[in-house]
Amino acid sequence: MIQNERIKYLNDKKIRNEKYIYYWMQQSQRTEYNHALEFAINQSNKYKKPLIVYFGLTDSYPDANIRHYKFMLEGLKEVEKSLEKRGIKFLLNQISPDIGIVNFSKNASMIIVDRGYLKIQKKWRQNVAKKIKCPLIQIESDAIVPIEVASDKEEYAASTIRPKINNKLPQYLIKIKKEKYNQGFNEKEFDSLNIKDISKTKIDNIVKPITTFIGGTNQALKQLNLFLKYKINNYKENRNDPNLNFISNMSPYLHFGQVSSLQIALLVLKNKTAGNESYLDELIIRRELSMNFVHYNSEYNNYNGLPEWSKKSLKKHEIDKRKYTYSTSILENAETHDSYWNAAQKQMIKEGKMHGYMRMYWGKKIIEWTKKPISAFKIALYLNNKYELDGRDPNAYSGVAWCFGKHDRPWAERPIFGNIRYMNANGLKRKFDIEKYAKKYE
């Protein structure tokens, strides 16, 4: 059974005696380890109503482009096939998700939805909850420990949320029971968009798709198995060296909900290797700290969401002389004097994912080369969200904010950065062969 803490009724409507139960899939785009799907199947069997899994495909998700959509649709193809094997109808419509599910709600006994953490996702759910005539039940499926269970406030840093999450982990770090679907589906009244055909959509196609990563749960688990077999033993020692590629590459799949962090965590623990603790801290503590940030801080996607101490410090040093200043265009085209930074930007453009350690350096240098910190924040967020497959989610917003002091502490004061943590090229040279990395992306 799904823990009660994962369940939230978003309106007070009564269950209706209509033809179907709907699972409005949005954030958790998978059929494995999906609490919302299993809850929906349970309710379908309980009330003896066929289940329809609905997905609304909007052409205009903020900051998204064809690179993101291609990856997402590769995953949705898997979802469709997996649901078909379980006898469940998958319905994909080319329309804003909230509008689409309201249109279909006329024959819904109830609607189950997974939880989203961003403002647009919350707004969609609020809109639907008000407009439909049946219950809208939200099931949290992308956090291992439900957000409000972990903490009832915005946390200062990983050090403050870590003991709270670790204290709750034993009761939530458990395998999900897969429900058997008993209702079947014989109706032919629904037409679904051909998932393979996105040529007719109006999706922004300026940023081209990449072949570095292929979307879907199966691909995610293949990547994870390689990580567990060859990398995790030395993850702690080698994760910050982009030349060694000791990362798990799970972030794009987690972003689209194509793989569950709970499933990853259980497979990691089953592996019983030396790198478990370090990796699980990134997967659970750091990731769920970012969810805490966007949930409790409504300004998470702009400069106002930063800590007061960091904004004050950066403001004080706004007038400091900068040796180099660059426009958004020069930064986007990787045309700075710094070959290391340029390589990181090119990796992001080419592969759709920048190595985590280089992303920190990348963000710090944007602060250093931009006249005003508020402009630097906007540029960093713009570039990150435009090119990264794992941009536009809690981890992305938290990662950019970290470069400006969020979830960090004040450091010794220095020009331009004030009390914000500083990074320079010498630090890269001490950690790994940065020249080798730069040469790869010349």
Decide which of 141, 172, 190 is a domain's last residue: 141
pLDDT for the residue numbered 59: 86
Q: Does the pTM of the predicted model rise above 0.85?
A: yes
pLDDT for the residue numbered 34: 98
pLDDT for the residue numbered 143: 98
User: How would you class 164 by CB atoms within 10 Å of its CB: exposed for 0-12, middle for 13-18, buried for 19 or more?
Assistant: middle
Mean pLDDT by 10 residues, the chain (442 residues): 94 97 98 98 97 93 93 96 95 93 96 98 98 98 98 98 98 95 77 61 84 96 96 93 95 98 96 87 98 98 98 98 98 98 98 96 98 98 97 97 98 98 96 98 94
Determine the structural domain holding residue 292 and report its residue range.
217-296
pLDDT for the residue numbered 202: 75
Half-sphere exposure of 35 (CA within 13 A, CB side): 29
Decide which of 116, 141, 166 is a domain's last residue: 141
Q: How far apart are CA 307 and CA 407, in angstroms?
A: 9
Q: Cβ of 301: how many Cβ atoms within 10 Å?
A: 22
Q: Is residue 368 part of a domain?
A: yes
Q: Cβ of 389: how many Cβ atoms within 10 Å?
A: 24
Identify whether residues 271 and 323 lie together within a single domain. no
139 in Cβ contact with 283 (< 8 Å):
no
pLDDT for the residue numbered 117: 97
Identify whether residues 436 and 408 lie together within a single domain. yes
Identify whether residues 13 and 76 lie together within a single domain. yes
Q: Is residue 288 part of a domain?
A: yes
CATH code for the domain of 273 = 1.25.40.80
